[in-house]
């Protein structure tokens, strides 16, 4: 058996989705090779769609110094530390049938200073397996990976997408280990294309508790209407309801106004400081 198959494990997927996809089981491996990722890249290059991997593939063709897969992985790692997962079905004869590929980046940017904010990043599903309900299981697998990998250090898992189908997935009642919160919007440029992206966070339980505790303390120790009270109130609404409760631009304005008014929250509110820094690093629109 090939190393990429030998290292694979079965991904829990509901039987109705497997039947709809026409496969007996879905496998996942983090061993990336030409045989596992190559067929998916072949399809992606033929497809008339906008995908951030297309720019990396074009750059790989221009250099020609590495295989296509190796060049893609190298380019990913150059931007930020990234783990790539390959999802496939195993046919009775032992042949693999590519289903999709997806990534988790350890940081939003390579130089982001805080640990524990992984990003559910690029994903691609083969055309024949779209529309059958596989994508939510790929998202859940990567969230579970983040929980296992970062453990108590996990702050939040980020996902941003311009695809309404992805929005519906993360806001559905699918059983993710932690629900997603819509936190705002960003303008993303891929090649010559600009996209309006919705951003979501799945907050780790411990981090969410710390944020609410810090917000509550600011509201308890400062008089209503003061800068300290207002940032606590804004953070509480943002953590509990996301963009619908407190648009990020308004939250950020309150934090800026607090600093201008002499209330320096940065040295006393570690969880708040980390979350604001992450949202700025995305960067969320203000």
pLDDT tens profile 60-97: 665 555 688 888 888 888 889 999 999 999 776 767 89
Instruction: Locate 54 and state its tokens.
Output: 């297309």
15-20 contact pairs (CB < 8 A, 24+): 16/133, 17/132, 17/133, 17/134, 17/137, 20/132, 20/133
128 and 208 fall within a common domain:
no
CATH of the domain at 34: 3.40.630
Among 154, 173, 199, the domain-final residue is 154
Distances (CA, A) of 177 to 1, 139, 188: 33, 11, 28
What is the pLDDT at residue 217? 97
98 and 205 within one domain: no
pLDDT attached to residue 76: 84
Residue with structure tokens 């750059």? 59
Same domain? For 135 and 166 the reply is no
265 in the same domain as 224 = yes
Nearest to 113 by CA among 281, 254, 284: 281
* Boundaries of domain holding 107: 3-154
Q: What is the mean pLDDT of residues 200-220?
A: 97
Number of folded domains that form the chain: 2
Given a cut of 70, whether residue 238 has pLDDT beyond it is yes
101-105, 194-198, 236-240: range with lowest mean pLDDT: 194-198
Domain shared by 141 and 167, yes or no: no
146-190 pLDDT per residue, tens:
999 999 999 999 999 988 999 999 988 787 877 899 999 999 776
Q: Which of 29, 32, 105 is nearest to 67 (CA)?
A: 32
């Amino acid at each position: 058996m090939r190393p990429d198959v030998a290292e694979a494990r079965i991904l829990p997927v509901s039987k109705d989705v497997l039947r709809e996809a026409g496969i007996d089981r879905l496998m996942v491996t983090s061993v990336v090779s030409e045989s596992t990722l190559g067929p998916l890249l072949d399809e992606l290059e033929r497809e008339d769609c906008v995908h951030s991997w297309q720019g990396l593939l074009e750059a790989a063709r221009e250099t020609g110094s590495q295989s296509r897969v190796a060049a893609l992985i190298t380019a990913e790692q150059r931007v930020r530390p990234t783990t790539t997962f390959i999802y496939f079905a195993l046919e009775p004869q032992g042949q693999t049938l590519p289903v999709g590929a997806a990534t988790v980046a350890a940081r939003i940017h390579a130089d982001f200073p805080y640990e524990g904010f992984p990003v559910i990043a690029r994903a691609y599903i083969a055309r024949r397996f779209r529309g059958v309900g596989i994508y939510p299981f790929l998202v859940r697998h990567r969230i579970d990976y983040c929980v296992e990998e970062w453990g108590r250090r996990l702050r939040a898992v980020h996902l941003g997408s311009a695809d309404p189908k992805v929005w519906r997935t993360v806001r559905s009642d699918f059983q993710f280990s932690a629900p997603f919160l819509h936190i705002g919007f960003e303008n993303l440029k891929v090649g010559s294309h600009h996209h309006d992206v919705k951003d979501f966070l799945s907050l780790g339980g411990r981090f969410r508790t710390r944020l609410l505790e810090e917000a509550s303390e600011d509201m308890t120790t400062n008089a209503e209407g003061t800068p300290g009270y207002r940032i606590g109130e804004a953070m509480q609404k943002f953590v509990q309801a996301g963009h619908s409760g407190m648009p990020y631009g308004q939250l950020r304005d309150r934090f800026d106004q607090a600093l201008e008014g002499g209330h320096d929250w940065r040295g006393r509110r570690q969880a708040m400081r980390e979350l604001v820094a992450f949202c700025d690093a995305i960067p969320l629109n203000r």
